[in-house]
């Protein structure tokens, strides 16, 4: 479709489009995932991206696109890295013909108290991409045109290229909507009937991750491809995406980010995966490999031991509460992690897994804490400072992260906490373990990967 760039810094006319909405629940994931799958069916190489810290939507994107779903979050990595990370993702492992970026929340909703910083609109500006607005038209007529115009006029720097009408009630309803949007000069690129909706099962933190329901996930993505191919003008979307200006920034490079291999040794770093630990950014493994590690996935639900020669372990987020009994049943791996002599880094689900018990079910016992589910959602961006030296941090080092959980631990932090924010201590640093609820994106602080590899080699 387009000529790939000659080098990582050469201008690249990468077609790209941002799928946004006035608010959550309008159907962004339906349209974005369906677009990825439908365009791939056409023989195009598609690059999937997600605005914000979300781990679950990128799993569906990856299934639809056949390559890793990647996040674009200015809060977590810095706005200067957004376009380079887009270019890296769109060129890895092969150059893409088009990038589809799913937004987060409403188009202009950013980090609380910081205007539109980290919003979909912010990211659209940073990557120079036109916006395709998904409108839930339930109980709405001509006002849909006013809503679309308002979303575009609120920030003239964001270019609204068209809309997809979602949950349209009838052919008459669709005609009314199209006429109103034509009056407003807003192109309609698709219309999805209310009866045609495809739903993926959800849980308390959002959609159920792809890894937990592989056959069903394939069926959902196939249905979304059928839906979008039959209701959205794909040629019009491709034409819109082609209006994006060339990318002139160089691609993000994990080797440059970590400063190259940490030494001659190539220690094994075990990265938790499987259905219980699905939350991991693609760049984590890339940074560890760039720092010289051999990254091997371990599934705590199935694997009885860590990979041979493991020098460090990384256990990210997920839903251990949904698999507590199965995790407990793998007693051999729990015992090995309890006594593992190397560094261990754990975020959220990993924190719970390393404790003594989760909702009364025995876990690894590496940390002297218990955890339980609650009815309260803890959610939001955090500005943290490392409270102490650890395998991935140096004391007083600032980092930006994100919390998203419905559990609590007792105690809430150790004698040597991992982080401090809002005047309070959080997490645990103990015996080579760094564990907390805070999710971080290592592209924003790549020194963590290098330090962990250095510690693993020791």
**Residues noted as catalytic:** 348
Look up tokens 């979008």; give the residue.
228
Phi, psi of 377 (to 5 degrees): -90, 120
Cα–Cα distance, 427 to 445 (Å, whole number): 18
Cα–Cα distance, 435 to 348 (Å, whole number): 8
Give the three-class secondary structure for 351: helix
C-alpha dihedral (323, 408, 337, 56), degrees to nearest 10: 50
Residue 81 DSSP label: G
End-to-end CA distance of the chain: 48
Quote the radius of gyration of the chain (alpha carbons, Å): 22
The DSSP secondary structure of 216-245, one letter per residue, reads HHHHHHHHHHHHHHHHB-HHHHHHHHTTSP
Q: How big is the chain, counted in residues? A: 458
Annotate 356-392 with b (16+ C-beta within 10 A) or e (fewer). bbbeebebbbbbebbbeeeeeeeeebbebebbbebbb
Give 3-state DSSP helix, strand, coil % of the chain, rounded to 5. 35, 25, 40
CB neighbourhood size of 415 (10 A): 10
Cα–Cα distance, 149 to 152 (Å, whole number): 5
Pull the structure tokens for residue 265: 């040794």
Looking at the DSSP assignment, which residues form a beta bridge with residue 203? 206
Give the three-class secondary structure for 35: helix
* Under 8 Å between Cβ of 383 and 421: yes
For residue 411, is the peptide bond before it cis, meaning its omega torsion is within 30 degrees of 0? Answer: yes
Please enumerate in sequence order all residues whose Cβ is within 8 A of that of 314, keeping only pairs 6 or more positions apart, or say none. Answer: 269, 270, 271, 272, 280, 284, 288, 344, 345, 346, 350, 452
Cα–Cα distance, 285 to 62 (Å, whole number): 16
Q: Which CA distances in Å does 262 have to 77, 344, 416, 448? A: 22, 18, 27, 12
């Amino acid at each position: 479709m387009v000529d790939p760039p000659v080098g990582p810094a050469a201008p690249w006319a990468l077609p790209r489009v941002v799928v946004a909405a006035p608010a959550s629940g309008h159907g962004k994931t339906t349209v974005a995932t369906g677009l990825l799958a439908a365009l791939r069916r056409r023989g195009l190489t598609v690059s999937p991206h997600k605005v914000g810290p979300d781990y679950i939507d990128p799993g569906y994107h990856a299934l639809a696109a056949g390559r890793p779903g990647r996040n674009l979050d200015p809060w977590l990595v810095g706005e200067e890295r957004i376009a380079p990370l887009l270019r890296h993702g769109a060129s890895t492992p092969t150059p893409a013909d088009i990038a589809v970026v799913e937004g987060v929340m409403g188009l202009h909703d950013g980090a609380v108290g910081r205007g539109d910083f980290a919003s979909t609109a912010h990211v659209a500006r940073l990557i120079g991409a036109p916006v395709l607005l998904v409108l839930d038209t339930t109980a709405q007529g001509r006002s849909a045109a006013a809503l679309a115009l308002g979303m575009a006029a609120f920030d003239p720097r964001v270019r609204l290229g068209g809309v997809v009408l979602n949950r349209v009630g009838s052919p008459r309803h669709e005609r009314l909507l199209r006429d109103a949007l034509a009056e407003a000069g807003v192109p309609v690129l698709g219309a999805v009937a209310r009866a045609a909706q495809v739903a993926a099962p959800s849980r308390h933190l959002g959609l159920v991750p792809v890894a937990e329901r592989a056959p069903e996930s394939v069926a959902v993505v196939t249905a979304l491809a059928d839906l979008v191919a039959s209701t959205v003008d794909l040629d019009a979307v491709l034409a819109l995406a082609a209006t994006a200006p060339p990318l002139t920034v160089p691609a993000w490079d994990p080797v440059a980010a970590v400063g190259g291999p940490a030494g001659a040794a190539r220690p094994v770093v075990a990265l938790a995966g499987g259905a219980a630990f699905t939350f991991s950014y693609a760049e984590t493994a890339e940074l560890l490999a760039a720092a010289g590690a051999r990254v091997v996935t371990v599934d705590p639900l199935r694997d009885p031991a860590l990979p041979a020669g493991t020098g460090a372990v990384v256990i990210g987020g997920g839903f251990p509460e949904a698999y507590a009994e199965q995790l407990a049943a793998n007693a051999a791996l729990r015992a090995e992690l309890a006594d593992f002599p190397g560094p261990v880094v754990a975020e959220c689900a990993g924190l719970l897994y390393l404790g003594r018990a989760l909702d009364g079910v025995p876990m690894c016992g590496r940390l002297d804490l218990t955890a339980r589910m609650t009815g309260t959602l803890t959610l939001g961006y955090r500005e943290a400072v490392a409270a102490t030296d650890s395998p991935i941090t140096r004391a007083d080092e600032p980092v930006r992260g994100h919390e998203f959980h419905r559990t609590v631990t007792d105690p809430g932090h150790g004698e040597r906490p991992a982080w401090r924010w809002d005047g309070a201590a959080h997490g645990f640093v103990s015996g080579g373990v760094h564990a907390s609820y805070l999710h971080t994106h290592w592209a924003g602080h790549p020194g963590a990967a290098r330090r962990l590899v250095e510690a693993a080699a020791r």
